[in-house]
Structure formats: C-alpha cells, structure tokens
Structure 1
Amino acid sequence: MTTTMLPQTTHPNLEKAAQLAAKLQPLRHLLGGHWAESEGGERFDSVNPHDASVLTSAPSGTAGDIDRAARAAHDAFQIWRNVSGAERRRLLHRIADGIEARADEIALLESLDTGQAIRFMKSAATRGAENFRFFADRAPSAGDGQSLPAPGFINYTLRQPIGPVGVITPWNTPFMLSTWKIAPALAAGCTVVHKPAEWSPVTATLLAEIMQSVFEEAGLPGGIVNLVHGYGESAGKALTEHPLIQAVAFVGETTTGSHIMRQGADTLKRVHFELGGKNPVVVFDDADLDKALDAVVFMIYSLNGERCTSSSRVLIQSGIYDEFTARIAERARNMRVGHPLDPATEVGPLIHPRHTGKVTSYFDSARDEGATIAAGGEARGGNYVSPTLFTGARADMRIAQEEIFGPVLTAISFTDEAEALAIANGVRYGLAAYLWTNDLTRAHRFAQQVEAGMVWVNSENVRHLPTPFGGVKNSGIGRDGGDHSFEFYMETKNIAISLGTHKTARLGVGEGQPTRDSVDKKLAE
C-alpha cells in the first residue's frame, strides 16, 4: 500500500475549532444533576482522528457510576412520568432551541472528534433539533390509546412510560443519533442514562449540558437525563445488566448487540437495536443512470462510508456493468480527501487507527479472492483511506458479505431480476435497500420481496421522521420514528369496565344450591 502526506488546511474553521478545543474542559459524568468524576478516578483520552492529537479526556465509568446514574434516573422518573405531555412538549422545544443556539460549536467539535467532513456535520445540530421538535409535538398524545367496546364492557387502552432506560450510542454521527434516541424517550415520560461511544464522547457532553440547563430552569429534579462515559466492557455492560434500567436502546455493531441481549436477559430487559448493514443498491439497465450514479456515490462515500445505511454493495445489470463501474471509479478517484474542517473536503479521516486497520485489511482480502481494485485501495497516512471500488466481485466474497463500514464499495454483476434478488438477500443483514428502475411493476415487486426493513426506490436515503426506521435479520430489532418509537419506550395497558350486564359463574355454592340463572328465572316469574 502507498502512503501520502496527511491533508492540511488553513481554512478559518480550523482556527475556530482550535479555539473551541482549547476551551474544552476534561469531560465528566452527569449523575443526578451533578457533574462528577468517575468512582475509580480513571480517565481515557478523546483523540482527533486527523492527527492523533488529544482533544480532551473523559472519565472511565464503572459499575458504581452506572448504579448512581440508574438510581438517580429511577428517582427522577417518579416525578417526570407525571409531568404533563404539554409541559414535556414545551421543555423539549426549549432543548431544541438550545441545540440551535450552539449549532456552530456542535458542528466543529463533532467534526474534530469524529473526522467527519464539516460539510455533513453542519447539519448535525439542525437534525438534532428537528428530532427534539418532532417528538416534542407528539408528547401530549404519547399516552393515547384506543376504545375497544365489547358486549357488557368498555375496554380502553392507554400507554405509560416504561421507566428509566439506557441509551448507548455509536461514534459515527454521535450527536444526531443521541437525539434520535433520547428525544422520544423523554417525550414518552422516561428518564435516561446515556452511555456514548468512547471514541467520540465530546458532543454528548454538549447535549447533556443543554438538557440539564432546561430541566434546572424548570425546577425539575436532577436525574431526568444522566451521562456516563466509559467502555462497553465496563460501563456499557453494567448499564445493560442494571435491574433499575427497564430497556436498552442501542445503535452499533451486530456482535455488540448480541452481547447486550445476553447481558440483559437476567432482568428481562426490553431491547431496541439498530445494528449493522450490508445494504444493496440495485441498478437495472432501464434506470436513470445519471441520477443512480449520484445516489450510489453519495450513499457510500459521504460520512466516510461510516454509516449503517450506506449502500456498500452495488448490484448492476450485466449489460451496463462495465460502463457504470467505470463512472463510479472516476468519481471515487476525484473525491476530495482532506482535512475534515475544510468545506471542500468530501472524505475525511476514519475514526480510529483500530477501525482504519479493519477497513484497509479488506484491500488484501479483495485481491486474494480475485476482485479488482478499480479505484483507491490505499492507506494515505494516519486514518486517511482512499475512496475505494472493488469490481469483478462475487456474492460469496468477504467484501460482499461483511460490513466494512468505510468508503469502500463492492460492485457485483447480475443478469436478471431473480438473480439480483437472490444476491440482495444473500447476506445476514437486512437494514436498507435501494432500487433503481423505471419499471413500476418491477419496483413494487422487488421492493416487497427484498429482505430489508427500509427500501428506497429511485432515491438515496431520504428520511421522513414519521416513518419506521429499522432492520430485519441481523440488522436489528424494533423500529424508530413517529409512533413506533413510543411502542418501545411505553407499555400499553388495557382497562376493562363492566357495564353490569354480564353474568359470572358461581362456584362453591354446593350441589343443589340455586344458581344465578335459576334465581333470575324465579324472580322473572
């Protein structure tokens, strides 16, 4: 593999970010409304993926820290659960206001902490605020149920918050994904213990500061939202096993999700998982190929390819395979790889040396299995990796089966719809799928048969917040979005009210004793 110098920039964003980084204090936990050090006193560094410089440090949470957070969440739940939906709506909108007020700070620090290009992180605060506003407006109706009349009864249902919940978020777009989980939990009336990823902990503190400030101003107790930094093996494990935590919402890698399910089994913890993906984008020869090209390139190389919904397998009909892959390769070679704070940058550094090593290991795997590296396939120094395209791939290759989670695309040829469907479904994942065709009948038929929780036809991933978000197979359990989020954070209760007209069988009255029917008949005579 060849290496080049690390990308540099002199853009004003760098000066602003440097000033913010210089002001960063060592991170702390938020436990019951108080900023605290870890019980054990141990800390770990948060490192800039661009140059491995230390941004700040965070406390390494212990089981004791998790216990303090869970107990605080449990105590606060007794009050927060009874706060009206209208008041929760007001407070969540205040949180959204606070997020928007610190939008530039959030974007710059998120880019520094994750290596994501600033062109994408500029929307981090906007999307986070949108999540809070969306669920804020649903808070007043979160507990609504149904009227289910039956002979002799009026049945009605209502929903009630499940209790304190654990939220474990990933390192790729941590701020937005944290709001995506925490906002519906708060709108439902739950309290939260948040454990962010140890590779990108910085903006979790900004979010916690904003939320805690709003709750303090409202005179509410500490503990509605708690923040515990730390490693998955210690803080994460303690959170998933804690008996006061009623549910765990996790976004991350599939293997970690299976560990969490095992860890929560003894306490019968409810789980919601958004896990890995090896998402196909299927391009038929009748598609609008210009638009399809834009979407294919965007969905694999934006966000450094570190996104669960990336279209990391492109399935191309054989008659257009050579031409279409050549166009992708040209785009990949022209991709602007650079400093994440430069607005011109399209691909920044990957999050961590360990992850960079994993991604680049697939370059040798591709060669060994007989694929061609049509673009990229190079480490560029530090955590920088060239946008890569593998061609001539088969569906059974590692590069076609395993989640690489980087700017790496695998191109596979197919002859007809049946083969395309078999290849698309021939992996253990099933998060998203993308389909490009102008045949309306085929579009519906294929979309209904492909094994994925979400399908976009003639489009990249365009989110609509009321729609369900989640995967099948090894890509997850449960759905986010709209009312689907409340199904996880709330329990449904049925209440049956008798109208006094039904008859209850009488037991223990002795043989020959009058039954209720005989008494009623006698009275009628």
Structure 2
Amino acid sequence: MTQPSPEHAANRQLADQLRAERLSKGIQHFIGGEWVDAVSGQTFEANSPVDNAPLVTVARGDERDIDRAAQAAHDAFQEWRLLPGKERRAVLHRIADLIEKRSQEIAVLESLDTGQAIRFMKSAAARGAENFRFFADRAPAAQDGQSLPAPGFVNYSIRQPIGPVGVITPWNTPFMLSTWKIAPALAAGCTVVHKPAEWSPVSATLLAEIMDEAGLPKGVHNLVHGFGEDAGKSLTEHPLIKAVAFVGETTTGSHIMRQGADTLKRVHFELGGKNAVVVFDDADLDKALDAVVFMIYSLNGERCTSSSRVLIQEGIYDEFTARIAERAGNIRVGDPLDPATEVGPLVHPRHFEKVCSYFEKAREEGATIAVGGEKVGDTGNFVRPTLFTGARNDMQIAQEEIFGPVLTAIPFKDEAEALQLANGVRYGLAGYLWTSDVTRAHRFAQGMEAGMIWVNSENVRHLPTPFGGVKDSGIGRDGGDYSFEFYMETKNIAVSLGTHKTAQLGVGKAPAIAPKEAGE
C-alpha cells in the first residue's frame, strides 16, 4: 500500500480534527447574529461524497426560519444602508483577511463536503478573499451616479441599495460562489439571507463565522439551511426580500421566477450550460488540448462554464480526439484530500447516478466511448473521466447538461457549420474558440450565442468584466459595476434652476354656466 505524501497526511489529519471538533456538533442557522436551531427542531444529514457516510447533521429550515431571517435582514438594513461606503469597505477587507487566515481550513472542509480535489480548493479561499477585496474597494463609489443637465434643470442620478436580498448558492464550488454573490450585495449596502445547497452546507457556515468575527453588524448576513421546496421557496416568496440571486440548474431558476412574481422580485440567474469549445485546424493544438482537457475534467466536471462539447474540424478530428482520450485516461481519480488527485468523487449519489446514466445513452445513440464511461471503485461517487466520440449535435449527450467529467466530441466541416453547431443548444453561458485567424476569431466570437467568449484561452476570470449567460443560461450579469446594477436602484433627481415656466391651469375666472331651462 502506497504511503500518503506528507501533505496528504496533513490534510487528512486536519480533516479528522475538523470532523471531531466542528462537524460532530452539527450545523445551525445564523439569524440576527445568533446561532440557532430550526424552529421545527428538524434536521437532515449531509453525507461525504467519498463514501456516502454521514458527514454532519444540519438544521432544516422552513418558512418560519426564513421569516425570522428576512425580518432580521429588514431591521439591519435600516442602518447598514446608511453606513458610509468607506466603513463598509473596512468591514469587507477584514472579512477578506480572515478568509486568507483560515484558507487551509476552508480548503479541507470544501473538499470533505463536495468531493472537489484539494488542489483546486486551495484557490477557493484566495478567490473568495479576492471577491471581497474587489467589491470592498468599490463600496465608497457604489452609490455614485451621473450628472445629466438639461435646460433649466440640474439632473443627477444616485444609486441606492435595493434592500434585503436572497442569495441561493449551488453545491459545486460553494464557498467561492457564495462570496461572489454576497460580497457585492454587502458592498452595495444590502443585507442578505443566504440559503446554501443542502448537499454542501459546511463552508457557508464557516463564511458566516468569518463575517461575524470581522464585525459585520448583526442581521446584515443571515444563513438558513434547508431544502428548495421549503426554505428556498419561502425565501423567494417572502415580501421583505426584494431580489433573489441564484446560481444553479435552469429548471429551478424558472421555478424561482414564478415564485417571486407575486412580490415582483428582481432576479439574477446564473444557470446551466452546454458550452462549446471550437477547435479549427489552424489552432495551436498543443495549447488547445491543454485547455480542452482542463475545462472539462477539472473541478470534477461540475463547473457551469465547463467546455462539455468540443467541436473539432474534420481534418484533425481523429488525431485530436485520440490525444484527448490519452490525457483523460491518465487523469488521477481518488481521495480529494490527496494533492495528487485531479478528479474526486461527484457530490451526491443522485448526481452520480445522473452522470452515469449518460454512458448508456451514448451507446444507444450510436456514439463511441473512447475512454471512461464507468464508475471507479466500490464505494463513493467516483467516475472515470469520459470522452464520447462519433457524436452528433442532436444526441442527448450533446444537448443536455451532464455536469460531470464527460466530454462530447463532434466534427465539423467549416466555419459556418461550426457556428451552427455551437449555437444549436438551448444554453448560452460560455464559449471557447481556438484559431490563429484573427479575423475569423472576431467574426466567430461575435456570432456565438453566449454571454462570455474566450479566444485561444481557457476560462480566465477578470473581475471587472461582465459574467453571465443568454438563452436558458441566465438573466443578468455579475462582475464590476454590473453587480451593483442588480443590487441597487437608480434614482433621478431633477432640481429646477428657476427659469422653467410651469404650465398653468385654472388661471382667471371661470365662465358662468347658464342654468338649464325647465324641460331640458
């Protein structure tokens, strides 16, 4: 039996310690600055993806817990909204400092909770801290507007926080995505009720602890655990919640929109994707190969921006797919706490079964499983990185979001067919393009139906740029000032300079009205 590396052993030791000290106590809600059980007293179990054994007991919230949290957020909003931006900036920077200080704890807990390889979760804390610092530095100017002079008037606009907001986050990279939503909301002056995914509740609790330790006033951030059908639904319907930011599956997004309709909630959705990476025969194929393999097999393939369809020009299709298969076959699947592991277990047995169901669908549809297409081991939710070749765009494996380490390879003849294939799905989150033809790169990128396009690159985030999708992949944009457009209302104020002549009604004596003659 191979001895674990020193780093692996240290990660495992910390994991055991955290399970004994932290997770054995269970997870509560955080409402109004206090850790509390669910009003009902009910709990649920979250399991480890490694062996599906119980990991932690979690308070199960319902409409009563959501109501308490929404009321706490509403009460705290009255002061938080008036706090000067530079003071909010200071609080958010303290949060970032504490995230960095506890980065190893965050990484280990995230791996335990989600099955993500720790080599990627090491960056979760760094990115979370970066999100808080980025929006902290924009907090002082968040309310700034424009000067819009007109004849006889001084017009100017300001922005004001919309109010308490609901934030519903997914299970794939929960810590980072929670900071990506919560940081701009707090910087804008909003208060938050956060409902994390029930499959990965652990790091949300850690983030709440950090924000409380950093001095965030009570009630500004509230955390309620639970399931979508009770806690989630109650959050999206609550009249005190003015907006809902949601990251997750497309069907759930449509439910949230319906649930929030009666209270006219503003919604921001980052939803599903079936993103295409298009490889032309003039591309730098070595770099393209690295990007294709990384963007589908990293993070267990559980990434909204993953390039899960690779469209390859016919002349290089066989060679390029053979190279992908070789790389995929070499990917190390195993314990997520092992720094050598590249793909860990999928987050939950239900998701594991969904991903594995596509192996048989591929065979039924006539595609070839070039590599993978099987589970790994007898316990846990481990799947072999998989490549489907000989696929067509009308197959389920090319149309449906699998959300696992599974890539579908489709050949194309020319640019026109490539664009048709790339756009031939209901999703439109991200797209990737590899070519040495600069003119074609611009032309093709502008023709792709996706909210974000990377040319000759994998997904490299730049925080000031807009992040979001089109079609069934979402509504709205995150990043930079785009986040404030969601969390804030724009108000126009018009001040007359005294030269404006107001129209008059009722000036002078009204003409007499003759009495009606008898019989009229």
Measured against the shorter chain, the TM-score band is over 0.9
Counterpart of 1:376 in structure 2 is: 372
| Aligned mate of 2:298, from 302, 309, 331 | 302
Shift of 1:11: 3.1
SS at match of 2:401: coil
**Could you tell me which of 340, 359, 384 is aligned with 2:336?**
340
Residue 292 of structure 2 corresponds to residue 328 of structure 1: no
How far residue 95 of structure 1 moved from its aligned partner, in angstroms, is: 0.4
State how 1:233-272 maps to structure 2 within 5 Å: 233-272=229-268
How far is 1:510 from its partner?
Answer: 4.8
Per the alignment, residue 520 of structure 1 pairs with none
* Corresponding position: 1:181 with 2:181: yes
Q: Which amino acid aligns with 1:429?
A: Y
Aligned to 1:391: 389
Quote the residue 2:209 is aligned against: 209
CA distance in 2, matches of 1:413, 1:8: 42
C-alpha displacement of 1:215: 2.4
Counterpart of 2:165 in structure 1 is 165
Tell me if the contact between 2:387 and 2:407 (Cα under 8 Å) persists in the aligned partners.
yes
Does the 8 Å CA contact 2:52/2:349 hold for their aligned counterparts? no
Whole-angstrom CA distance in 2 between matches of 1:95 and 1:34: 18
**2:350 equivalent among 333, 336, 354:** 354
* Structure 2 residue corresponding to 1:316, chosen from 300, 305, 312: 312
* Number of the residue aligned with 1:37: 37
Q: Does 1:289 find its partner at 2:285?
A: yes
Per-residue deviation, residues 90-110 of structure 1 (Å, max 9, x unmatched)? 000000011111100000000
Distance 1:157 1:508 in 2: 33
SS at match of 1:183: helix
For residues 457-489 of structure 1, the C-alpha deviation after alignment (integer angstroms, 9 at most, x for no partner) is: 000000000000000000000000000000000
Q: What is the distance in 2 between the residues matched to 1:407 and 1:364?
A: 15
Give the secondary structure class of the aligned counterpart of 1:256: helix
- SS for the counterpart of 2:252 is helix
**1:89 and 2:89 are equivalent in the alignment:** yes
What residue is the counterpart of 1:517 in the other structure? none
Normalization by structure 2: what TM-score?
0.95
Residue type of the partner of 1:167?
V
**Other structure's SS at 2:420 match:** helix
Mapped partners of 1:184, 1:12: distance in 2: 35
In the alignment, which residue of structure 1 is the partner of 2:105?
Answer: 105
- Unmatched 5+ stretches in structure 1: 1-6, 514-525
CA distance in 2 between partners of 1:158 and 1:469 (Å): 24
The alpha-carbon deviation at position 13 of structure 1 amounts to 1.4
Amino acid corresponding to residue 237 of structure 1 in structure 2: K
Alignment of 1:188-207 (within 5 A): 188-207=188-207
Code of the aligned partner of 1:258: S
**Whole-Å separation in 1 of the counterparts to 2:256 and 2:438:** 41
C-alpha distance in structure 1 between counterparts of 2:507 and 2:122, whole Å: 76
Aligned sequence identity (%): 78
Alignment-derived partner of residue 70 in structure 1? 70
Distance 1:84 1:505 in 2: 40
Inter-partner Cα distance in structure 1 for 2:56 and 2:276: 38
SS of match in other structure, 1:272: strand
Tell me the SS of whatever aligns to 2:245.
strand
Q: Residues of 2 paired with 1:409 and 1:511: CA distance? A: 82
Which AA in structure 2 matches 1:240? Answer: T
Q: How big is the shift at 1:148?
A: 0.3
The residue aligned with 2:225 is: 229
Q: How many residues align?
A: 504
Kept in 1, the 8 Å contact 2:297–2:406? The answer is yes
Whole-Å separation in 1 of the counterparts to 2:206 and 2:14:
17
One-letter amino acid matched to 2:387:
L
Supply the AA of the counterpart residue of 1:407.
Answer: P
Residue 149 in structure 1 maps to residue 145 in structure 2: no
In 1, the alpha carbon distance for the partners of 2:508 and 2:65 equals 61
1: distance between equivalents of 2:149 and 2:60? Answer: 53
Q: Secondary structure at the match of 2:492?
A: strand
The AA in structure 2 aligned to 1:195 is: K
What CA deviation, in whole Å up to 9, does each residue of 1:335-354 have, x standing for no partner? 10011000000000000000
Distance in 2 of aligned mates of 1:215 and 1:247: 25
> 1:451 corresponds to which residue?
449
Shift of the alpha carbon at 1:67?
Answer: 0.1
Displacement of 1:511 in angstroms is 7.2
CA distance in 1 between counterparts of 2:62 and 2:222 reads: 14
Contact map agreement 1:8 1:338 (CA 8 A) in 2: no
Code of the aligned partner of 1:357? E
Following the alignment from structure 2 to structure 1, what is the Cα–Cα distance between the partners of residues 119 and 33?
Answer: 34
Q: Do 2:164 and 2:191's aligned partners in 1 also have CA atoms closer than 8 Å?
A: yes
Q: 1:212, CA displacement in angstroms?
A: 1.3
Tell me the alpha carbon deviations over residues 378-407 of structure 1, each in whole angstroms, 9 at most, x when there is no partner: 012330000000000000000000000000
Distance 2:205 2:470 in 1: 32
For 1:357 and 1:294, the matched residues in 2 are separated by: 28
1:15 aligns with 2:13: yes
* Map of 1:276 onto structure 2: 272
Residue number in structure 2 paired with 1:499: 497
Partner of 2:515: none
Aligned equivalents of 1:335, 1:367: Cα separation in 2: 23
- The amino acid across from 1:43 in the alignment is T
Please tell me whether the aligned partners of residues 297 and 331 of structure 1 are also in contact (alpha carbons under 8 angstroms): yes
User: Shift in Å at residue 45 of structure 1?
Assistant: 1.0
Deviations 1:148-175 (A, max 9, x none): 0011111000000000000000000000
Distance in 2, Cα, partners of 1:407 & 1:511: 83
- What is the deviation of 1:196? 0.3
Deviation at 1:12, TM superposition (A): 2.8
Contact 1:167 1:182 in 2 (8 A): yes
Counterpart CA distance in 2 for 1:14 and 1:334 is 24
Letter in structure 2 aligned against 1:353: P
Partners of 2:491 and 2:510 in 1: CA distance: 41
Letter in 2 for 1:266: D
Counterpart contact for 1:8–1:339, Cα < 8 Å: no
Contact 2:226 2:232 survives alignment (8 Å)? yes
Q: Which amino acid aligns with 1:393?
A: A
Q: Give the match for residue 426 of structure 2.
A: 428
Unaligned runs of 5+ in 2: 512-520
Which of 410-419 and 13-22 deviates more?
13-22
Which residue pairs with 1:439 in the alignment?
437
